[in-house]
Amino acid sequence: MELWQMQVWQIPALMAGGVLCGIINALSGGGSFVTLPLLLMTGMPPQVANATNRIAIALQCASGVATYHRRGVRPWREVLPLSIPMSIGSFLGAYLAARVDEDVFRKAAAVLFLIMIATIFVDTKRWQRPPGSGHVKPLLYPLFFLLGVYGGFLQAGQGTILIALLVLGGGYDVVRGNALKFFLTLVFIVVSLVVYAEAGQIRWIPGLILAAGSMLGGHLGARLVMAKGSRLVQIFVVLSAIAAIVKLLTTG
């Protein structure tokens, strides 16, 4: 989908949706529960919307990695061993999502969306660990592989599970756990983007418009203090996720 092939309303809608996604991710997480329904509403097939959404995620993660790197949080030693099972899983998940029958993908995505709605209400900021601690034992690597499979297939909500594995399973403090989350997500999202690009399922122009909005929203969200408004944000995200489920199940 090139710029001249888009309807006029889609450009500001994608930009605004991206801004909203960035703010939501900065405040509570779950931005993909908003952007995926938006991409579906523009008329994209679900697999194309799922692939295109990853452009914004990749750029958001790259921005997060750069921010942590500037602040001296550079967990390269921990990233490498964990990125291997996640990348393999992401490749397999993306390969499956890109090639499965569209009707099967719609039903699977709707079920996964319904399950992952619960992650919106998890407050990872309350998890406390001593600064500088943390190590993921190889025994947990299969879980990172499975999360990579899910991230390659759909991705929405995986950030909360990943931070849970790192903080609760690996013993990292929340700051270092979040840094690792950005690094690892960037790695497996890029792997999945390569798979979807090879399958011709990425619409780069809409994806870049969405990404521009989401990066702006991320900067705005980082400056907002909306602790009392986070519940309202979560309710909005849930409603968006439900809208996506309805859209997936009722559009053939």
pLDDT tens digits, 186-232 = 999 999 999 999 999 999 999 999 999 888 887 776 566 444 455 66
What is the average pLDDT across 137-163? 90
Gap between the Cα atoms of 248 and 216, Å rounded: 28
Amino acid identity of residue 89, one-letter, is G
Q: How far is CA 4 from the centre of its chain?
A: 28
Residues 29-46 have a mean pLDDT of 85
The whole-number average pLDDT for the span 19-47 is 82
Say what the pLDDT of residue 104 is. 92
Confidence of residue 42 (pLDDT cuts 50, 70, 90): confident
Residue 7 banded pLDDT, cuts 50, 70, 90: confident
Residue 196 pLDDT: 96
Residues 222 and 77: beta-carbon distance below 8 Å: no
Contact 51, 1 (CB under 8 A): no
